[in-house]
Amino acid sequence: MPDYGIAGPDAGSGLLPWAWAEERLARTRDYWVATLHPDGRPHVTPVWGVWDGEAFWFSCGGHSRKARNLDRDPRATVTTSDTGEPVIMEGAATRVPDRAANALLAERVNAKYGEALTVEFFLANATYRFRPAWAMGLVQADFTGSPTRWTFD
């Protein structure tokens, strides 16, 4: 990683496997979602969500700043909340009004967070499926050897 002072491929522990990132994406309680205001300024908010192995799912108010931003420009950044072993993803979010998808999200959110949210709750709000174009992860304790970037089709 140029500009980070990383010594090269033989320094530190080496590249992280994608399974390492997926484990953190699945277990993280809180995530940060960054979207773009119409004038290009960043807008960042914390959310609950679930990783399904291919995409990150979350919900927000249907008329919230985040929803308005994503409906206008789907580009976003999603990160885990652990700064010691973060996973950072850039990609695009798509609003998903489908009842079956929202029912599955309700089931997964309720299992993860110990809640009892209904599919109607999610349908009354805005559900998004975020698909990463690329992701990056690192272990702070091995900053010179662990930074890894993954790209997706």
Domain definitions of the chain by residue range? 18-151
What is the per-residue pLDDT for 10? 55
The β-bridge partners of 110 are none
pLDDT (0 to 100) of residue 146: 86
Each residue's pLDDT, cut to its tens digit, for the chain (153 residues) gives 555 555 455 555 678 999 999 999 999 999 999 999 999 999 999 999 999 999 999 999 999 999 999 999 999 999 999 999 999 999 999 999 999 999 999 999 999 999 999 999 999 999 999 999 999 999 999 888 889 999 997
Residues in the chain: 153
pLDDT given for residue 13 in this prediction: 66
**What is the distance between the alpha carbons of residues 133 and 92, in angstroms, rounded to a whole number?**
8
- Bridge partners (DSSP) of residue 44 are 34
pTM score: 0.91
Task: Return the CATH superfamily for domain 18-151.
Answer: Electron Transport, Fmn-binding Protein; Chain A (2.30.110.10)
**Cβ–Cβ under 8 Å, residues 24 and 87:** yes
The pLDDT assigned to 142 comes to 87
Sign, Cα dihedral of 76, 79, 83, 85: negative
Pair of tokens at residue 79: 């990160």
